Amino acid sequence: MHTKKSLLDDLKKLSIDRNGTLLVHSSMKSIGEVEGGADTVLDALSEYMEPGLLVLPTHTWSYINAENPRFYVDDSPSCVGILTELFRKRPGVVRSLHPTHSVAALGKDAEDFIAGNELFDTPCARGSSWGKLLDRKATIMLIGVDLTRNTFIHGVEEWIDIPGRLTDTHEQLYTVLSDGTEISIPSRRHCGKIWSDHFWKVEDVFLKSGVMYIGQFGDAQARVCDTVSMTKLLFHMLSIDPDLFSDNNPLDEDFAKQFIDINL
């Protein structure tokens, strides 16, 4: 059985920068049996990142839409896992105001990190928390999930303006604050195919180029990504092939090879 101490040891072995910014995507089930359950996992992550900033996605895109347009910051549950839902309710944790792609943060500069997400009409705008991850040279850790759950890649596609990723029109959504104040947020949405289902295609290139490495967290495989080098690599790949994630076919070997030794 895993304990808080053993999970803290795993984080040390993964060489996570505890003074920096860490975004975690997760599958609680993949971690295995933990003494104290999900709360112990969050205790370990929070304690390890105490000198820095811990961030978890608290998305609501699966059910906040034109037919159900109100996102309640305090009450709308996260649709991306039990750890994210428990984390957003913890003391000291603050949640951003974006109606579909909110994040929750704990630690250094947490209020500044989440500020202003409601000003943008897209899910992962460069000026939002997703872009701030790059500004802060953050680390992204995927616990028991693969690159298809890496929302940051959606951000990179958005910043490059890959065609067909977002609706041309807006849905009228609202963010509802604790005091009942409603903020109008007309929002463009991800559209068409589930593009993220194809993000797995770059895993081998990520590993061989040093953008990502793999370790262990509990029973789970943990993928650790550097936002700066990941962004540089994806910008380069997508500038050559904007349709990179438009299908589920493996990368052409000759295409992939040119990025392995690229200077990031």
Question: pLDDT by residue (tens digit) across 89-132?
Answer: 999 999 999 999 999 999 999 999 999 999 999 999 999 999 99
* Alpha helix positions (H), the chain: 4-13, 28-31, 38-48, 82-88, 110-114, 129-135, 151-160, 203-209, 227-240, 253-260
Confirm if 56 and 23 have CB atoms less than 8 A apart: yes
Q: What is the pLDDT of residues 147-185, one digit of tens each?
A: 999 999 999 999 999 999 999 999 999 999 999 999 999
CA 63 – CA 69 distance, rounded (Å): 9
How many domains does one find in the chain?
Answer: 1
Tell me the residue range of the domain where 201 lies: 4-260
